[in-house]
Structure 1
Amino acid sequence: MIQTERELKVLKIREQMQRNQLEACIVSTPVNTYYLHQCIFQGYTYIPLEGEVFSFVRRPSDFNLKALQLQDGHCHFIRKPEQIIEVIQAAGLTLPASLGLEGEEMPQSQWARFEKMFATSQIKNISHMLRQARSVKTEYELEQIRQSARLHEAVYRNIPSFYRPGMSEKDFCIEIEYQMRKGGCLGLFRCYGIDMESFMGSVVAGDNAAASSPYDFALGGAGHPSNPIGATQETALREGQSILVDMCGNFSGYLDDLSRCYSLGKLPDIAYRAHQVALDIQAYVQENLRPGVICEDLYNGALKIAQEAGMAEYFMGCRQQAKFVGHGVGLVINELPVLAPRMKEPLQAGMVLAVEPKMVIEGIGAVGVENTFIVTENGGEKLVSLSDEIIDLLA
């Protein structure tokens, strides 16, 4: 029997529920609602360990319930969450002994409300569990990410034509953002975590690449005090310094991540040596993006390559070094898994990761690369064919 996309995802969530001894869970965040239904509404989806799911819609008031393609009696408009109890009991279901909620995203007041509603249930936080379910993509999701990567690549191929003499970082960044939006990018850049936020990406030139960021991204950049990351109007694009373009592509609701390095004329030799080490690291990681490989081992192998090449002091930053070399992508830019120390999780076929070995050199800027890969039995499937080399904008 051919399963629908939602049925495949519900199955993945139920596998996690069984591991975590949950009889039911409730999903309500936009990311997880879209994950299940390929649309967003304000409301809740109740997933029992067995049987059909229920969806409860608060807004929009004219939402087409039939679009959810659930069985009759399993889609309802509600005014308040307490009505969930009424519906599931009317359907002949008993309240679960254990219930999962998105604790890392749900306000405490909402959590307390559900505790009162499900007074006899043990309530557990399922945010990490749902991230694990999302980490292995369905074929539909893989095609959505491939589509984003293709359209993203099409814009990047034209980046050299966007440059104009006298541009600042911010000018160049805005032009790239404009062309990405014209090319179909939705502009929305979802992050996981209440202390993570950004826009479509960043452009950093010269020493601005070394400016430390409060966010857990590979690169910093001074940005603006209200968004301290990425480009500034004050940083001019100058000869002898690198320009690193790191933009997120969201052309389908699913994200890819892509970085390329540019220059105005020739860079100092150390920049090209460091860039080659980054490419060597990428090749090593790509070759080993196979099921069963441990995430931590890939980070350690990448760090070893940087150390043996004498580039460890520049690896993933200089003043502040990021402790990862790759991260999952999907509906948010920082999905699981993460290629980082102490990450013991084995890779699985169908995981999608952005691999971003970068070097930041004081006085020159950032070099390196970022590409999005799918984990397969034969190593990472690279989603673009764009050159990884440093491109001279004056050539």
Structure 2
Amino acid sequence: DVMTVAEYNRLSQVFPEAEIADASAMFRALRSVKSEFEQKLLKEDGIHHQAAYERIPAIYRAGMTDVELQIEIERALRLEGCLGLFRVQGGSMELFMGNILVGDNADSPTPYDFAMGGAGADASLPVGASGEPIVAGKTVMVDACGNFNGYMTDMTRCFRVGEVSELAMKAHELSISVNRRLAQFGAGTPAKQLYEEAVKMVEEA
């Protein structure tokens, strides 16, 4: 539902008698409710996605960097059947197969409209893994996408190497509590309401 001015002008010339109108709202409404067929594809996608994620503990090797771990996770996803291409809505939005954030790199800001950051491996693409060594006491967040049949799933899992700080454990436990609480809301709940409930729980913790 997005096009450049050049595309708009070209279509206006090709179809001079046609009325060109904004169909964004129609497309978004259509995408917001999935048919039974689409739900079936998403469930199948999730099964393959989970199967790849179950390999992550065995994939990790001591001394790895976040980039090295990400490469191996991407390999596991491709071997599971992931198509490797992901479409992202939004201007100037770019996405590879996923994001691996280790330790303090998770706090690195990014210009992208994502819920996560990361310095990235190069300033030209400032998001995600940065070459951070994965050592004892570090947390590892794996947020990789699945696309096995044209429909995307997104799965995030957190791991730790050895013992981590008490604060990190409390934050992780709180995030689990938030997810369990939000899972109690029924289908069709506005995203705004879910967000506000999550913020409330965090502020009260």
Where in structure 2 are there 5+ consecutive unaligned residues?
none
**1:170 correspondence with 2:67:** yes
Letter in 2 for 1:200: M
Alignment correspondent of 2:202: 306
- Tell me the distance in 2 between the aligned counterparts of 1:146 and 1:216: 26
Number of residue equivalences = 204
Alignment correspondent of 2:165: 268
Aligned mate of 1:231, from 118, 129, 141? 129
Judge conservation of contact 2:101–2:142 (CA < 8 Å) in 1: yes
Aligned mate of 2:50, from 153, 158, 181? 153
Alignment correspondent of 1:179: 76
- Tell me the distance in 2 between the aligned counterparts of 1:181 and 1:167: 20
Letter in 1 for 2:125: N
- Tell me the distance in 1 between the aligned counterparts of 2:63 and 2:128: 19
Alignment correspondent of 2:138: 241
Alignment correspondent of 2:85: 188
TM-score (ref. length: structure 2): 0.94
**1:285 correspondence with 2:154:** no
Judge conservation of contact 2:55–2:76 (CA < 8 Å) in 1: no
Once the two structures are superposed, what CA deviation does each residue of 1:115-172 show, in whole Å capped at 9, x if it has no partner?
Answer: 3344444321213421221121111111111111101101111110001111001011
Where does 1:30-41 land on structure 2 (aligned, <5 Å)? none
TM-score (ref. length: structure 1): 0.50
Alignment correspondent of 1:113: 10
Once the two structures are superposed, what CA deviation does each residue of 1:300-358 show, in whole Å capped at 9, x if it has no partner?
Answer: 1110000000xxxxxxxxxxxxxxxxxxxxxxxxxxxxxxxxxxxxxxxxxxxxxxxxx
- Cα deviation for residue 252 of structure 1 reads 1.1
Larger Rg belongs to: 1
Judge conservation of contact 2:83–2:148 (CA < 8 Å) in 1: yes
Partner of 2:21: helix, strand, or coil?
Answer: strand
Higher fraction of strand: 1
- Tell me the distance in 1 between the aligned counterparts of 2:11 and 2:75: 43
Judge conservation of contact 1:198–1:227 (CA < 8 Å) in 2: no
- Cα deviation for residue 290 of structure 1 reads 2.4
Partner of 1:124: helix, strand, or coil?
Answer: coil
Partner of 2:183: helix, strand, or coil?
Answer: helix
Where in structure 1 are there 5+ consecutive unaligned residues?
1-101, 310-395
Where does 1:1-395 land on structure 2 (aligned, <5 Å)? 102=1, 104=2, 106-223=3-120, 224-233=122-131, 235-291=132-188, 293-309=189-205
- Tell me the distance in 1 between the aligned counterparts of 2:89 and 2:186: 23
Judge conservation of contact 2:62–2:135 (CA < 8 Å) in 1: no
Letter in 2 for 1:304: K
Higher fraction of helix: 2
Letter in 2 for 1:227: L
Once the two structures are superposed, what CA deviation does each residue of 1:164-222 show, in whole Å capped at 9, x if it has no partner?
Answer: 11100101110111111111111111101121111001111011111111111111111
Identity of aligned residues (%): 39
- Tell me the distance in 1 between the aligned counterparts of 2:129 and 2:139: 13
